[in-house]
Amino acid sequence: MSNPYDDNLQNISKELKCKDCGALLKYAPGTQKLACNYCGAQNEIEQLDTAQAIEEINYSDFIENKIDKEEKQTIHTVQCNNCGATTSLNPNITADNCPFCASPLVIKGGTTSTLLKPKYVLPFVIDDKAAHITFEKWIHGLWFAPNNLKKQASISEQLKGIYLPYWTYDSNASTSYIGERGEYHYEGSGKNRERKTKWYSTSGTVQNTFDDVCVLASHSLPDHVTRTLEPWDLENLTPYQESYISGFQTECYQTDVKDGFKLAQGVMEETIKATIRRDIGGDEQRITSMHIVHNDITFKHILLPIWISAYHYNSKTFRFIINGRTGEIQGQRPYSIIKITLAILAVIALFVILKNL
């Protein structure tokens, strides 16, 4: 009996083989081409019809009627025993490190997974050469970093291109609320003048329209880190094709579409609260209660590109992330206590010298 993953991989490989030498091709960031690392040939990616607008899937209809009928893909994955990230496994890979925490991956522990197929992808624009230059500049520009950090972290194999799984959600939200409006007034005069707040009960209904609220569909990166990579140019999404993924790893979603919407509601709620406060007016606002109803909910499953380096230093994991579209960076780094202490002592010494002049 044939393995469905093997059959799927064979079909993909046929599509991604170089027309000149037969080698497996790799997507060339910023182009519409697949590049061959062996013979240098450039193979054009067949362009799908993108004349129609990006399709948003009706959330309620999908959950009730289509969740088991939606197009799926069978892929080979490996899960990191340290951080739990699940990524696709490239063909012929026998050893690798987790791109999110740099721990060795147990390749033999890989499994075959059947997941919802992404609808759209934002292909890489920043290539590996530009990503490495950015990484090296960042590493060598760190102040108060340990002396051996630059040598330990500047390993080219540790910077990897990854597609992250995202859900995006749209919604028209209607929110009824009860609250209080605080208005300032002053009592007394001169030094005894004191500001007081008088509170008035209020209620109302506000409307919010949300478009493409992004939710990372995995747990491998903290939300506050991925938020710093925004905004994404989602207007440039293209229909999903294996060609854009070739040569890169893909993290598999661990948060399903229903749990993703719960997270999206949390993001939307902060905007709704700000709208309510504006509606209440006055100098201060209190929100006692609110009832949110989401209408016309739609979603889509997309892949977004990042370059990531994960490295260990003194038993701790640090990450460096680049938005694969814009070059926006988010970096974590260790500090040298000795260098910081010496810098403080130097400042104190300079202060004492200047004081005694």
What DSSP string runs through 288-311? EEEEEEEEEEEEEEEEEEEEEEEE
Strands 33-35, 42-44: pairing kind: antiparallel
User: Where residue 5 falls among pLDDT bands split at 50, 70, 90?
Assistant: very low
Strands 329-331, 316-323: pairing kind: antiparallel
Pull the structure tokens for residue 344: 């403080």
**Are the CB atoms for 248 and 27 separated by under 8 Å?**
yes
Q: Given this model, what pLDDT does residue 147 score?
A: 60
User: Where residue 4 falls among pLDDT bands split at 50, 70, 90?
Assistant: very low
**Are the CB atoms for 300 and 54 separated by under 8 Å?**
yes
- Cα 310–315–318 angle (5° rounding)? 25
CB neighbour list of residue 209: distance below 8 Å, 6 or more residues apart: 171, 172, 173
Cα–Cα dist 303/167, whole Å: 9
Tally of CA atoms within 13 A in the half-sphere of 274 that contains its CB: 6
Element (H, E) at 134: helix 128-140
**Are the CB atoms for 287 and 177 separated by under 8 Å?**
yes
User: Where residue 12 falls among pLDDT bands split at 50, 70, 90?
Assistant: very low
pTM for the predicted model, two decimal places: 0.79
Could you tell me the CA-to-CA distances from 202 to 49, 269, 271 in Å, in that order?
A: 52, 19, 19
pLDDT in tens, 246-278: 888 888 888 999 999 999 999 999 999 999 999
User: Where residue 349 falls among pLDDT bands split at 50, 70, 90?
Assistant: confident
The amino acid present at 291, given as its one-letter code, is: H
Q: Given this model, what pLDDT does residue 20 score?
A: 76
The amino acid present at 108, given as its one-letter code, is: K
Region 77-92 average pLDDT: 72
Share of the chain above pLDDT 70, in %: 77
pLDDT in tens, 332-342: 655 556 666 76
CB atoms within 10 A of CB 15: 13
Pull the structure tokens for residue 215: 């939710």
- Cα 225–227–231 angle (5° rounding)? 140
**Are the CB atoms for 257 and 301 separated by under 8 Å?**
yes
Each domain of the chain, given as residue ranges in start order, spans 1-47, 48-347
User: Where residue 45 falls among pLDDT bands split at 50, 70, 90?
Assistant: confident
Region 223-242 average pLDDT: 88
User: Where residue 148 falls among pLDDT bands split at 50, 70, 90?
Assistant: low
Strand-pair partners of 206: 175
Helix (H, G, I), strand (E, B) or coil at 136: helix
Cα–Cα dist 155/336, whole Å: 20
Q: Given this model, what pLDDT does residue 288 score?
A: 97
